[in-house]
Structure 1
Amino acid sequence: MAAELRSAQWYGGTDRNAYIHRAWMRRGLPHDAFSGRPHIAIANTASDLTPCNAHLGEVARSVRDGVHEAGGIPLELPVVSLGETQVRPTAMLWRNMAAMAAEEMFRANPVDGLVLLGGCDKTIPALLMAAASVDLPALVVPGGPMLTGTFRGAPLGCGTDVWRLSEEVRAGEMSEQEFTRSESSMIRSRGHCNTMGTASTMAVLAEALGMVLPGLAGTPAPDSRLLESAHESGRLAVELVHEGRTPSHVVTAASFRNAIVALAATGGSTNAVVHLLALAGRLGVELSLDDFDRVGADVPLLVDLLPAGRFLMDDLYRAGGLAAVLDQVRDLLDPAARTVTGRPLVDHLDGARIWDPEVIRTRDAPLQPAAGIAVLRGNLAPSGALIKPAAASPELLRHRGRAVVFDSIEDFHARIDAPDLDVDADSVLVLRGCGPRGYPGMPEVSNMPLPRKLLERGVRDMVRICDGRMSGTAYGTVVLHVAPEAAAGGPLALVQNGDWISLDVEGRGLTLEVPDAELAARTPNEATVAGYAAPRRGWERLYVDHVLQADTGADLDFLVGSSGSEVSRESH
């Protein structure tokens, strides 16, 4: 058996190198640790500076127990951890770096399989991208959402209610003291955001892709059943090695179709689009923006969760979880897609039930009949842009208004509350210089706060357009991921104050009402160009020079595809 294991390339034999590899790793391991027992790396993103993942050390211990029980050797491997709420300028700047670093460590070390522990927004996508590129047997254990806190007698949606309460302060409806007092209620327990934000979305989609033990995604972080499933995941990791079941065997075109259905049915984050596109690029699976529209546009929204609804993640779990949701749209799923168990995803839906039809709607009584993420095109977004209709105001999904343009996020903050800002409720707010290359890192700024003077008049939503992203916990009529971005020569750089812009979500159109000849004669203004990132060194320089656009996943051009698990040269 040892000759069949990848780790035997390090530990097998009697030469000096094998001696060194074994001797330095013994440190209490049993004598047969190097004789045919799979070595499983537990890739752990736990960090005190990634508060949503701080509990993953405890989860890792349960994984270790499961690996041991199944006859494997568990080895904890700390990997780059990105705390969405903490790192500046934006965690997305380092998703590709985290994926690259993890991939290289997976390949460089004597491991046969992987258990990937993630939670906060970028950690699961980065780990999936890394595992896909090295293609070792792997599965994900999501860290789970936090429990719901309350403030003034009402439940709080982590993230979503930050935006809502902060706008109440700006509108003069809440004092700053009350706003600050809500801080201690917002984060009730360990775990990531309890809304259907990016963290919850990527956990759910990792399961829909087949990379999570079925039934695990969405288990609240403090729930003992998370540790039970982590233990079982450790056991399954050893089985994956024995069976030779790698991400390229599990995650196929059929898997991505199922993930798109799950994204629409749960009202998941727009950030999932850029992560799924990047993952598909690593696996060599053809996936485009049009697939999200084609597969997901007519999928009903069944989950009544913030930011598109009322409830929160622990409600979804008690109401039946992802399996109950997918069972309602089973006919839309591709039955060919398998999971890390080796069985088709649809087989794991047998017996699923909805325990609270207010939280999970039935197929014949959806929250919205067709709520998938819409892909917009037009002369303002030649390569596409996104909007999440489920989080938008229905009356704004078809709209025409004058542009109010901001050349950078700094320009926006400086002017948005100016009393003399020429803006009304019908205006279209345009923010540029926030794409992958321009910022850099494509920050979550597209859901721009509304002008104070309009908030004071009761306005709570406007059409907003940006080449950046927005938090999965956010809401509003926001057109985002505009491609090409302004810094890559996209037409967004040419919009001027007062230009008329028309949005037609049903017709999938985003149009700048400027004649082609006039648009061709325009050049970006000096302030726009001055706002683009121009790093001189380090990761930011590498990123800006090589990052791709949002419509293909914003990966680095030289990371697309996989390199496999073989190490190019042996140690000497």
Structure 2
Amino acid sequence: MSLNPNANPLEDYDLSHPMNSKVGLRQGLTAYGDAHFSLFLRKAFIKAAGYGEDALTRPVIGIINTGSGFNPCHANVPQLIEAVKRGVQLSGGLPIEFPTISLHESFSSPTSMYLRNLMSMDTEEMIKAQPLDACIMIGGCDKTVPAQLMGGISANKPVLPLVTGPMMPGSYKGARIGACTDCRNNWAAYRAGLMDIEDIAAINDELAPTFGTCGVMGTASTMACLLASLGLMPLRGASAPAVSATRLRVAEETGKNAVAAVSDEHRPQAILTKESFLNAITVLQAIGGSTNAVVHLLAIINRHPAVAGTISLDTFDEIGRKTPLLVDLKPSGDNYMTDFHNAGGMTALLHTLRPLLFLGAKTITGQSLGEVLDASVAHDFPYSREIIRPLSNPLYPRSSIVVLRGNLAPGGAVMKASASKDRRLLNHAGPAIVFSDTEDLARRIDDPELPVTADSVLVLQGIGPIGFPGMPEAGLLPLPRKLGAIGVQDMLRISDGRMSGTAGGTIILHVSPESVVPGSVFGVVRDGDIIRCDVENRVIQLDIPHEEIARRIEDKKTYGFNQKQERENERVQRFVRAQCESGRARSRF
């Protein structure tokens, strides 16, 4: 695609001059049967915004504005847009911003995942419909980045992601704290009675002291690192703080790169290959990234016509077995995204991972990943090696994220093993305590009469994508308060839903098939059933006879087995028996 900012603008009105250019406003003209008239109308309307003829000869770089008063992760979007525009204009392009859906994890009901695909469609259709030569997609909060990349790949114009960046950590009584691993840890301590109400209220003021995405290796940070590993944005763009000058310089550079991508026609379906995504999965394992990235990456991959179907859940486990956890960030480690950035960020990490990567994978600049690394400097200093470990001294030997299978999850289940707070639970068998849905969980988890011990396995059903559209991040079941009060900090927990990337614990997620699917073994687990988890051998098993499982599945198909209703019936029967006993007792006097 050629750029010619010096073209004679009067050519657009010359009926003898064929409309050959497809750059800028000359693309996607409405079919009135007269291309010159279509362009004439388009230019007439956009001139209402004050554009001159010279500006309208330039390649158009779209800028997606996902700012929203309900999205503090994106509060710096206005500043980023100004920096992007500067970069575009310095390179001879015409920047035009436009809005799309904005999603924040805490302000989307019933769950932001419910809206991810809608945002993806919004992004795709706006990129396709509007006369854009390239598009810079500004996102950040968890679901926005995968939604934008899904839409961008399908639209298949040059797209360049720009993330808003992580927030800075806060401080309370001299200890660093940050959203949102420390949100969960401190709330758990408060629930257990280990912290008073004044402390938890004061901590609430410091968990998110600046705008930006969560400052740990949650889903937003994970997706930012994966974008960099895919070669779609500058490496330092994954970790530069939202409030930093570096973040603005990355935005300006992205604007320049967008104009260059137009002339070279760097479309995502041409740049991204299977090897690109295998690199991303390697990085996911090395950073101890969010389990949500498994869901998002598979959705992104399946938007790519040449790669769809070539990568499966098992691919994540295969790569994990040869990839150690190197990055010491919460929830698997102790530090924050600012530490990762100061330690060298993605540049240092990719240099360390070099033996495990496909270096021939292309990037948005046209260089290969290997060429990008050759042109970059990774400073090796003690602090860097504390945060980004060498391959010879990893934080966790392999497989931060594992895929488990067994009769409980024949379609697979996922666990972030590196975030376990009690490694003994990685090889554990215990009796199930079953909650049929989130309402059942909320009603009974703190019941003093709940027959639960530290060895119990907490099971939450009904939160898969069919049973609970949006597949909520409810997989981090709270520990019963009576156990927290005696020092229990972790239990084996299993669900067919998701969990925040900032959360830690020994938690099995995404059980497939989910509980509401006919024939699902997970859907017929009952209180007291023994569940066995063996992470080393990748097993998750319901240890009851096969015949009993088959009988329960058949009963569920026939009678609509509902353990919640069964419990309610038992409760009513106990009440009736108690009333009868009380009546007999009174009759004696």
**Shared fold per TM-score greater than 0.5:** yes
Q: Note if contact 2:288-2:325 (Cα within 8 Å) is conserved in structure 1.
A: yes
User: What is the one-letter code of the residue matched to 1:63?
Assistant: V
Which secondary structure state, in structure 2, belongs to the residue aligned with residue 338 of structure 1? coil
Which of 241, 244, 248 is equivalent to 1:220? 241
Q: Which of 126, 129, 132 matches 1:105?
A: 126
1:304 alignment partner AA: D
501-510 or 514-523: which moved more? 514-523
Deviations 1:340-361 (A, max 9, x none): 1111123222321244122111
How far residue 209 of structure 1 moved from its aligned partner, in angstroms, is 1.2
Corresponding residue number in structure 2 for 1:162: 183
Q: Does 1:29 align with 2:51?
A: yes
Q: Which has the larger radius of gyration?
A: 2
Aligned-partner Cα distance in 1 for 2:98–2:348: 34
Q: Which residue type is aligned with residue 379 of structure 2?
A: R
Matching residue within 551, 565, 570 for 1:521: 551
Supply the distance in 1 between the matched residues of 2:370 and 2:424 (Cα, whole angstroms). 37
Aligned residues of 1:146 and 1:222 also touching (Cα < 8 A): yes
* 1:43-79 deviation per Cα after TM superposition (whole angstroms, max 9, x unaligned): 1211110111121111011111111111111110111
Normalization by structure 1: what TM-score? Answer: 0.90
1:364 to 392, 399, 404: 392
Equivalent residue for 2:584? none
Matches within 5 A, 1:201-220: 201-220=222-241
The answer to whether 1:481 aligns with 2:510 is yes
In structure 2, give the amino acid aligned to 1:375.
V
Residue 381 (structure 1) shift: 0.7
Equivalence map 1:539-558=2 (5 Å): none
Question: Which one of the candidate residues 531, 555, 558 is aligned to 1:501?
Answer: 531
Q: Which residue of 2 aligns with 1:544?
A: none
Deviates more, 1:140-149 or 1:353-362: 353-362
Give the counterpart letter for 2:27 in structure 1.
Q
- Is contact 1:501-1:510 (8 Å) kept? yes
Say whether residues 1:322 and 2:350 are aligned partners. Answer: no
- C-alpha distance in structure 2 between counterparts of 1:10 and 1:4, whole Å: 8
What amino acid is aligned across from residue 474 of structure 2 in structure 1? V
Q: Distance between the aligned counterparts of 2:203 and 2:438, measured in 1?
A: 27
For the residue of structure 1 that corresponds to 2:324, the secondary structure is coil
Structure 1 counterpart of 2:193:
172
8 Å CA contact 2:87, 2:252 repeated in 1: yes
Q: Per-residue deviation at 1:10?
A: 4.5
TM-fit CA distance, 1:483: 1.1
Match of 1:287 among 311, 315, 338: 311
Residue matched to 2:370 = 346
Tell me the residue number matched to 1:558.
none
- Residue 137 of structure 2 aligns to a residue whose secondary structure is strand
Please, which moves more after superposition, 237-246 or 346-355? 346-355
**Counterpart contact for 2:178–2:208, Cα < 8 Å:** no
2:438 matches 1:404: no
Matches of 2:530 and 2:563, distance apart in 1: 19
Q: Please point out which of 430, 452, 461 is paired with 2:490.
A: 461
Q: Distance in 2 between matches of 1:342 and 1:255?
A: 14
Q: Note the 1:15-54 alignment, pairs <5 A.
A: 15-26=36-47, 27-35=49-57, 37-54=58-75
Deviation at 1:177, TM superposition (A): 2.1
Unpaired stretches in structure 1, ≥5 consecutive residues: 531-572
Distance 1:321 1:46 in 2: 26
Task: Describe the SS at the equivalent of 1:3.
Answer: coil
Q: Distance in 2 between matches of 1:526 and 1:179?
A: 42
CA distance in 1, matches of 2:363, 2:387: 26
- Aligned to 1:464, the other structure's residue is in SS state strand
From 504, 510, 521, the counterpart of 2:540: 510
**1:299 paired residue number:** 323
Amino acid at match of 1:17: S
Contact 1:297 1:370 in 2 (8 A): yes
Out of 181, 189, 205, the residue aligned to residue 202 of structure 2 is 181
Q: Provide the alpha-carbon RMSD of the alignment.
A: 1.6
Q: Does 1:448 align with 2:470?
A: no
Give the aligned partner of residue 409 of structure 2.
381
The corresponding residue for 2:295 is 274
Q: Report the Cα offset of residue 32 of structure 1.
A: 2.5
- Amino acid in structure 1 at the alignment position of 2:320: G
Long gaps (5+) in structure 2: 3-19, 566-589
Higher RCO, Cα 8 Å, sep 6+: 1
Q: Are 2:25 and 2:39, in contact at CA under 8 Å, matched by a contact in 1?
A: no
State the alpha-carbon separation in 2 of the partners of residues 360 and 45 from structure 1: 32
SS of 2:533's equivalent in the other structure is strand
**Contact (CA 8 Å) 1:493, 1:528: kept in 2 or not?**
no
User: Whole-Å Cα distance in 2 between the matches of residues 342 and 14 of structure 1?
Assistant: 33
Query: Which residue of 1 is the match for residue 576 of structure 2?
Result: none
Distance in 2 (alpha carbons) for counterparts of 1:17 and 1:186: 53
Aligned to 2:55, what secondary structure does the other structure show?
A: helix
Deviation of the 1:192 alpha carbon: 0.7
Partners of 2:371 and 2:342 lie apart in 1 by: 21
Query: Percentage identity across aligned positions?
Result: 44
Pair 1:426-2:447 in alignment: no
How far residue 215 of structure 1 moved from its aligned partner, in angstroms, is: 2.4
Q: Is this contact kept in 2: 1:211–1:251, CA < 8 A?
A: no
Q: Following TM superposition, by how much is the alpha carbon of 1:214 offset from its aligned partner in structure 2, in angstroms?
A: 2.7
Indicate which of 450, 456, 465 corresponds to 1:436: 465
Q: TM-score, normalization: structure 2?
A: 0.87
Q: Distance in 2 between matches of 1:266 and 1:348?
A: 20
Q: Once the 2 structures are TM-superposed, how far is the Cα of residue 130 of structure 1 from its aligned partner?
A: 0.4
**Equivalent position of 1:559 in the other structure:** none
Q: Contact 1:404/1:430 (CA < 8 Å) preserved in 2?
A: yes
Distance in structure 2 (CA, Å) of the matches to 1:222 and 1:210 = 24
Check the 8 A contact 2:440/2:564 in 1, yes or no: no
Cα drift, residue 528 of structure 1: 6.5
Q: How does 1:550-569 map to 2 (within 5 A)?
A: none
Q: Report the alpha carbon displacement of residue 6 of structure 1 after superposing the two structures with TM.
A: 6.4
Give yes or no for contact 2:331–2:503 (8 Å, CA) kept in 1: yes
Report what 2:577 is aligned to.
none
User: Partners of 1:249 and 1:68 in 2: how far apart?
Assistant: 26
CA distance in 2, matches of 1:216, 1:77: 22
Q: Are 1:84 and 2:114 an aligned pair?
A: no
Give the distance between the partners of 1:106 and 1:317, measured in 2 at CA: 32
State the alpha-carbon separation in 2 of the partners of residues 193 and 299 from structure 1.
Answer: 25
Call closer, same or farther: CA 1:301–1:30 in 2, change over 3 Å: same
Q: How far, CA to CA, are the matches of 1:436 and 1:57 in structure 2?
A: 34
Report the Cα distance in structure 2 between the residues aligned to 1:30 and 1:263, rounded to whole angstroms: 46
- Do structure 1's residue 134 and structure 2's residue 164 form an aligned pair? no
Q: Quick one: distance in 2 between partners of 1:529 and 1:449?
A: 19
1:556 paired residue number: none
Moved more, 296-305 or 14-23: 14-23
Q: Distance in 1 between matches of 2:35 and 2:355?
A: 56
